[in-house]
Amino acid sequence: VLPACLLLALLLLAPALAEQHERGLVINLEIGELCLQSVQCKSGCCHRANGLSLARCAPKAAEFQECSPKSIYGVYYKCPCERGLTCDADKTIVGSITNSNFGLCKDPQD
């Protein structure tokens, strides 16, 4: 009986989960929407201005803009660079801990 109930619950939840995905309630969030992790944002950057602010989806950093190296934490004070650019920043563990690992986006071909 339990597996049948579980199957029924999954069948009923599947359309609701698909609807959330399309509307962007949890993932595929637009720029400016509140987020908890960068994977939720279409842009790939969940940004907060300071430690007390709410995080919102933001565009990735363009060439010559301030950036942070990609992080496992998922929330950034400076967004990572757009595709094809590299963040020339302090990539040491000390920079990560002290939150001073910001740099500038540069084209690696230059």
Q: Could you give all domains of the chain from N- to C-terminal order, each with its CATH number?
A: 25-106 (2.10.80.10)
**Average per-residue pLDDT in the chain?**
81
| Residue 90's pLDDT band (cuts 50, 70, 90) | confident
Average pLDDT over residues 16-37: 76
Whether 92 has a pLDDT exceeding 90, the answer reads no
Average pLDDT over residues 2-9: 52
Residues sharing a CB contact under 8 Å with residue 101, sequence separation 6 or more, in sequence order? 68, 69, 89, 90, 91, 92, 95
Whether 97 has a pLDDT exceeding 50, the answer reads yes
Helix (H) or strand (E) holding 46: strand 46-47
